[in-house]
Amino acid sequence: MPRNSTSVVRAVAIGLAAAVLVVLVMVSTGGQIDLVHAPAHTTAAAAQSSMAGPPAGSVQPNATDQSMTGFWTGLVLLGGFVIVGLLALLLNLRKMVGGRRRAVRMRVEDHDDRLLDAVAEDASAHLAALRLGSPREAIIGCWLSLESTMQRVGLKPDKAETSTELVQRVLSTYPVERTSIERLAAAYREARFSAHDIPEASRLLALSAIERLHAELSELRRRGVPVPADGGRR
């Protein structure tokens, strides 16, 4: 999380804690907090008044009623502070997410043409990797070749993502069929992390996915289609 965002979250948390403390003090004192000492003559007058007793026909407030009034007043104030704090947090998170999406879109757009050119140049290497070795080795080699293509044009993973997620994110910014990307990524994860044997059918599935992806990206390159404003996500 960026430093300024962390500062905002910390400030809101401290403010909420202070608000809770103030409300707890109010509740414990029945909703009344004596912030300034009363003058001596006022104190004396109050003492005389209390000795004289209440005026005839007056109704004295019940101690329980005063306590409940303070409780509900504190509860309402606490609810208001919490709502304001949550709204501040939500607005801050929204700005963070929006800024990150804009930054991602700008990075991809900066490398748009070069990436399409690099994919076209490395297409034969991607396909060759899928035909070498066992199905497991072939699928892993093909995906690593895709990662190398991304790195060659200067694209790097964000702090919160892996190189695998980088490939998926960048390819997803183009108006291409998402199924091809997802199938290729799933085949790579299975080959990389599973303990069971990888069948030849998985190699063929990955081959079909990469060929279709190459064809769509090649068509975009030929037509000069830019990255959509929404990042190409479907």
The predicted pLDDT at position 228 comes to: 46
Q: How far apart are CA 197 and CA 217, in angstroms?
A: 31
Task: Report the SS3 class of residue 225.
Answer: coil
Q: Tally Cβ neighbours within 10 Å of residue 31.
A: 18
In this structure, of 42-56, 162-176, 189-203, the range with the lowest mean pLDDT score is 42-56
Q: How far apart are CA 44 and CA 149, in angstroms?
A: 88
Q: For residues 130 and 141, is the Cβ–Cβ distance under 8 A?
A: yes
Q: Is the dihedral of CA 47, 48, 53, 59 positive or negative?
A: negative
Q: How far apart are CA 26 and CA 198, in angstroms?
A: 68
Q: Does the domain made of 111-223 have the CATH classification 1.20.120?
A: yes
Question: Is residue 146 predicted with pLDDT exceeding 70?
Answer: yes
Per-residue model confidence as pLDDT tens digits over 190-234: 998 998 999 999 999 999 999 998 998 888 877 765 554 334 333
In this structure, of 56-70, 118-132, 179-193, the range with the lowest mean pLDDT score is 56-70
Domain boundaries, the chain: 3-33+63-106, 111-223
